[in-house]
Amino acid sequence: MVNPWTGEVALVIDGQARVLKLTLGALAGLEQALEVNSLVQLVQRFESGAFSTRDVLAVVAAGLQGGGAGMDRNDLLQAEIAGGPMAAAKVAAELLARAFMLPGDA
């Protein structure tokens, strides 16, 4: 079960429900992996719909790392995601939103 107040999001990968979360370390790795100067740039890409599959993959992989799922980017490349690419994109956007949500926001 996920706790949205702590930034957690659920995604079913290879038939198993996984908990994803963007921790500070995962966010730092995400900046480096996507070579962005700030996460605001990445959030803006998602808000405008200008994100790429590479962006989605990186955010989901970072969320798995932060959630302690024990999967890395290479595992994710071979995995089956319930709901396909659209579900992964939705989860990536939700992870970014929850990572910057203040208590009381909803």
Confidence (pLDDT) at 60:
95
Is 73's pLDDT higher than 90?
no
How does the average pLDDT of the chain come out, rounded? 89
What's the pTM?
0.89
Average pLDDT over residues 82-88: 95
Confidence (pLDDT) at 57:
93
The number of beta carbons lying within 10 Å of the beta carbon of residue 100 is 13
Is the model more confident about 70 or about 58? 58
Confidence (pLDDT) at 105:
60
Hey, what are 22's tokens? 């963007």
Confidence (pLDDT) at 72:
80
Q: Which amino acid is at 23?
A: T
Average pLDDT over residues 9-15: 96
| Sequence ranges of the domains in the chain | 4-97
For 52, 76, 85, 104, the CA distances from 60, given in Å and listed in that order, are 13, 9, 11, 25
